[in-house]
Structures are given as C-alpha cells and as structure tokens.
Structure 1
Amino acid sequence: MPAWFGSDRAARLPPDWPRRRARVLRRDPICQVCQLAPATEVDHINPGDDHSDANLQGICGPCHATKSGREGGRAAASRRPSARRPADPHPGLIER
C-alpha cells in the first residue's frame, strides 16, 4: 500500500489545479532542484496548502521523491517521542 494511502491531499488542491500545474511547468521547464532534468511534476516549496505560484516549482520525479521523503521523515520523527533521556539534575540541586 502506498505511503500516501488515505491522504486527503488531492482533495485539498484548488479546483483549477490542472491549470496552475500547467502554468508552473511552462514557467519552470527544467527541475528547480537539480537544474538538469526536465520538470515533470509541480512541488510545493513550503509544505502546506499555499497553492500560489510563488510557492510552486517545477521539479523532476526523482528530486520530488527525495524531497517528499525527506519532509515525510521529518514529520514522522517530530511525532515520535525523543530517544534521549532527560538530563539528571545536579546532585547538589536535589532537594531532600
């Protein structure tokens, strides 16, 4: 099952998304991340629901997968409890 299974991301896109996507791909024909491959996808620069042209960039599939994976990993890590133990108080500061 894909990692995005059950996501509501597509439903949160604006109704004119195909038009916006085409406009961004015309503006950015080359991947804005690696600057080598043709842009085939449109990426939100800053995560969230800001669908303005200023927050969208043309990107190639491999760069998009890498960027999305990194963002997803950070989001998952932020939901996990810390693996670090809280620091013990200095023995001279322990009240008895």
Structure 2
Amino acid sequence: MLAWSGSDRASRLPRDWPRRRARILRRDPVCGVCQRAPSTEVDHITPGDDHSDANLQGICTPCHASKSGREGGRAAAARRASAYRPTEPHPGLIER
C-alpha cells in the first residue's frame, strides 16, 4: 500500500503549490532539520494546512520521512487513546 493512498493531502495543497515549492527550495537549499543534506522536499513545520512561507521549510528526504513518521505515530496514538477513553466517569468514582 502506498503511503499517500487514501490521503486527501494533495487535494488540500494550494493551486500554486509547484511555485511555492520551488521558491522554498531556492530559499532553503540545505535541509532545515539536519543542516547537512541538500533540500529535496518541502515540509510544513507545523502540521496542518498553513501553506504560508513562514510555515514551510526545505528538508531532505530522510529527515522528511522521519519527521512525517513521528507526526503520524503521534496522531495515530491520539486516535487510539480517544477510541478507548470512557465518555463518562466510572460509577464508583462519582461523588454524591
């Protein structure tokens, strides 16, 4: 299964994404995370749909994969936790 299969991420990018991407890669020729490798991808610093230049950074492929994996893991853990969290307090803990 492909990493992006089932994702709507590409459809949420602005129409001018190719231009923005090129501009950020020119601005940040070196990875914003490891500061060693050339930037080959553009990353949202804060996850979400803020596509402003201030929230975008050039990043190398290994750092981007690592960062995205950590963010995805945290999101999945939050979804799992909320799925099992009781919606009301346990009857033995209700004060009367």
Instruction: Please give the range of the TM-score, normalised by the shorter of the 2 chains.
Output: 0.7 to 0.9
Partner of 1:48: 48
User: How much is the aligned-residue C-alpha RMSD, in angstroms?
Assistant: 2.4
More helix by share: 2
In structure 2, distance between residues paired with 1:12 and 1:51: 10
How many matched pairs? 93
Q: Which residues of structure 2 form unaligned runs of 5+?
A: 85-91
Q: Please say which structure displays the higher CA radius of gyration.
A: 1
Measure how far apart 1:2 and its partner are.
1.8
Percent pairwise identity: 79
Q: Which residues of structure 1 form unaligned runs of 5+?
A: 84-88
Moved over 2 A (4+): none
Task: Give me the TM-score of the superposition, normalised by structure 1.
Answer: 0.84
Task: Give me the TM-score of the superposition, normalised by structure 2.
Answer: 0.84
Letter in 1 for 2:17: W
